[in-house]
Amino acid sequence: MASYESFAQVYDLFMDNVPYGEWASYLVRLLRENGIVDGLVLDLGCGTGTMTRLLERAGYDMIGVDNSGEMLEIARAAEGEESAILYLLQDMREFELYGTVRAVVSVCDCVNYITDEEELCAVFRLVNNYLDPGGLFIFDLNTVYKYRELLGEATISENREQGSFIWDNYYDEESGINEYDLTLFVREEGDLYRKYEETHYQRAYETDTVCALLGQAGLELVALYDAFTGRPVREDSERILVVARECGKRCRCSE
């Protein structure tokens, strides 16, 4: 089963602890500091479009790409009447746009879902290809520390009136793969709850590996931060934010 099919129904419910507003303000500040105050911006792995809509409200013309039709249905349903967001059902490993954009953003550890280094390089190469000259790429990543010390072998559960979930984690340090076995109980009618099961996979990447792949894809590393704080990356950072720039589309990825 593809990720976020059943979970799409309750994704926003269980993600209400994510400070999207603060994250959006931080992204907007980074964009403006780098001279990007308007124009086309791509939200890669946009999910239900929460960040996409916040960036649109900040004055950007937004495109959202996601490989879950269920998530995009929710995103489109949440748009206001005046919204002009373009949502595309595409895999981020092979997305296509009609032209270039001023910036690409990708948050909520979407990049960790790319579990193969060559495929991650291909994503970076596509980003480089579709960025305007000097365009910016901003994305976050869960860290090795988070998977190894906090998520690995942990079980997370939450119970709400509209639904409940049990999230079992299994981290393999040798491969860097974290497996999430997700069991959902989604309320349908009255006291009826339907059970769904999904399995998700993410990979932990060392920072040096990510930086090397960016360079191979022709992107220039601008900065690394402890995510959304502006502070330097620490050994116990759970999430990092990467800022990279298009610098001539010099692609050195192996074909």
The pLDDT tens digits for 201-219 are: 999 999 999 999 999 999 9
Average pLDDT, the chain: 89
Q: What is the pLDDT at residue 12?
A: 55
What is the C-alpha separation between 66 and 5, in angstroms, rounded?
12
The pLDDT tens digits for 84-121 are: 899 999 999 999 999 999 999 999 999 999 999 999 99
Instruction: Report yes or no: 4 and 89 within 8 Å, Cβ to Cβ.
Output: no
Instruction: Report yes or no: 30 and 102 within 8 Å, Cβ to Cβ.
Output: no
Residue 251 has pLDDT above 50, yes or no: no
Q: What is the pLDDT at residue 13?
A: 62
Confidence of residue 252 (pLDDT cuts 50, 70, 90): very low
Residue 1 has pLDDT above 50, yes or no: no
Residue 159 has pLDDT above 90, yes or no: no
Rounded average pLDDT over 158-174: 87
Topology at the third CATH level for domain 7-142+206-246: Rossmann fold (3.40.50)
What is the C-alpha separation between 143 and 63, in angstroms, rounded?
27
User: Where in the chain are the domains?
Assistant: 7-142+206-246, 145-203
Domain 145-203 architecture: Single Sheet (2.20)
7-142+206-246 against 145-203: fold identical: no
What is the C-alpha separation between 163 and 141, in angstroms, rounded?
28
Vertex 210 angle, CA 205 and 216, to 5°? 140
Q: What is the pLDDT at residue 185?
A: 85
Rounded average pLDDT over 49-61: 96
- Prediction pTM value: 0.91
Q: What is the pLDDT at residue 193?
A: 83
Give the alpha-carbon dihedral of 203, 206, 208, 211, to 10 degrees: 30
